[in-house]
Amino acid sequence: MTLTVKRPIPGIVSAPGEEPIFRPGDRIRVMGRSPIGHYRVPIYLRGKSGTIEAMIRFLMLPQRPAHTENFSEEQLAALITRDAMIGVVRANTP
């Protein structure tokens, strides 16, 4: 099933195929199932209803790897991964 968002959200830039399904003001209900493995929402939210208040995207600026003071922008970019940009891992070291 493919969901297409027909209402663009100002200020939100998504990767291809990652368009938001909901908009601020939409009423939602979190599914009450218990998946095995990764949870997308905390357990206490299962089965709860609510209203989307805001769309929040974030970007972390990764800590500069040691010994890269003289690196060019291209050399630094080669060390930075997606996960470093969202703050779940440190940038690669040279």
Question: How confident is the prediction for the chain on average, in pLDDT?
Answer: 76
Q: Kindly indicate the confidence band of residue 90, based on its pLDDT and cuts at 50, 70 and 90.
A: confident
* 64 touches 34 (CB < 8 A): no
The per-residue pLDDT for range 40-71, each reduced to its tens digit, is: 778 888 889 999 888 776 666 667 888 888 99
d(CA 46, CA 78): 40
Torsion of CA 50, 53, 59, 60, to 10 degrees: -70
* 14 touches 20 (CB < 8 A): yes
Q: pTM to 2 decimals? A: 0.41
d(CA 22, CA 26): 6
